[in-house]
Homo-oligomer: A and B are copies of this chain.
Amino acid sequence: MPGNTFGTAFRVTTFGESHGPAVGCVIDGCPPGLALDRAALQAALDRRRPGQSRLTTPRDEADQAEILSGLDLDSGRTLGTPIAILVRNQDQRSGSYAGWHRTYRPGHADFGYDAKYGLRAWQGGGRSSARETVARVAAGAVAEQLLRVRFPALRLTAWVERVHDTACGHLDPLAITRDEVDAHPTRCPDAAAAAAMEAAILAAKARGDSLGGHIRLLAQGLPPGLGDPVFDKLDALLAQAFLSLPACKGVEFGAGFAAAGLTGSEHNDRLQWREGRMDSASNRAGGILGGISVGTPIDLRLAFKPTATVLQPQASADDAGNNVELQAKGRHDPCVLPRAVPIVEAMAALVLCDAWLRQRGQVGDPWPGLAGPVASDRDP
């Protein structure tokens, strides 16, 4: 059973292996009439592109998006039909992987793919490569443009909060901008911490090692009422979205794991009407209660493991039943977090856009949550 489609109303199907001809996506369900900003779409791809700095893999990919369908040839607006986006693979150098055909890399999906399918695209990880996320970023850029038309106050910002043992210092999370995040190649908005993170990453790279860390994401400017009980709760679908990213090993919302250290009376965010909107002084729930957004910022944190490819000898196994030693080569990010930032934002945009359209389908738009105190005699 296939698993390459994400979303219910705004559905994205991605395709492509890292060393095949191309990666791409088909977006189905996009509302018609969006004047798609192709430059903004390309800019989103550029933010995740390899080769941006010494912190990222030197693999050189232009990652130029070609839109194959779904746009009005005259106006450039979306037609409501599927939008197919294609990005060719260029700088593939499969040679780097020569000899890995039969060997499973520790920390990688190689063995799992063989165990599952009986064969695998061994060059560069194939479908399990982070290269697949090009397609997600392209789709997420469309989703974000849609959200901005409907919710002009939207602010969707992720940043690197921690790399190995260096943490971002205290900043007001509600005020951080993408420009501030992008100001440093680490995508940590705290300049001092960013410098320390960069040094740590480069030191790890020099040792042939790699580092992991944490990413934080905030989504502001969205109405209450997003999310679909009971299995498609907003936090549940966000969790699926992020855990589907390569190297992501955990997610927490609001106080998250630390909520265990609080009592209920300490943890509960007190509700209060303020200027016709529901608000709360604290946001320990991370903006979601019972799986439905409450209008306060959606606040979450992700754990990324250190990059699996390390340029040191490692004990491993091959597909013939032998235990072997592996010496990796190839071009890899010593720390995926800087480039993961736009990917995380893209996945969030996909979930949020889908939640909006699902809500519009079932309840109409505007829905009760957009109009202050509810009116229970509203017709369907």
Q: Which of A47-55, A172-180, A249-257 contacts B (4 or more CB under 8 A)?
A: A249-257
Residues of B within 8 A of A239 (CB): 236, 239-240, 242-243, 251
Instruction: Please state the number of chain copies in the assembly.
Output: 4
Contact of A117 among B28, B83, B363 (CB under 8 A): B363
Interface centre among A22, A250, A280 (most CB of B within 10 A): A250
Report if A169 contacts B (CB, 8 A). no
A210 CB to nearest B CB, Å: 3
Interface size class of A (residues with CB under 8 A): 35 or more
Is A81 a contact partner of B271 (Cβ separation < 8 A)? Answer: no
Q: Which of B112, B231, B305, B312 contacts A265 (CB 8 A)?
A: B312
Q: Does A84 contact B (CB under 8 A)?
A: yes
A360 within 8 A of B: yes
Whether the Cβ atoms of A306 and B21 lie closer than 8 Å is no
Q: Which residues of B contact A91 (CB under 8 A)?
A: none
Instruction: Check: A228 CB closer than 8 A to any chain B CB.
Output: yes
**Residues of B close to A78: CB separation below 8 A:** 380
Chain B residues in 8 Å Cβ range of A95? none
5 residue pairs from A and B, CB less than 8 Å apart:
A4-B26, A75-B376, A80-B117, A107-B289, A118-B374
Can you name 5 extra interface pairs (CB under 8 A) apart from A109-B292, A212-B259, A263-B310? Answer: A33-B377, A80-B117, A118-B375, A119-B376, A266-B306
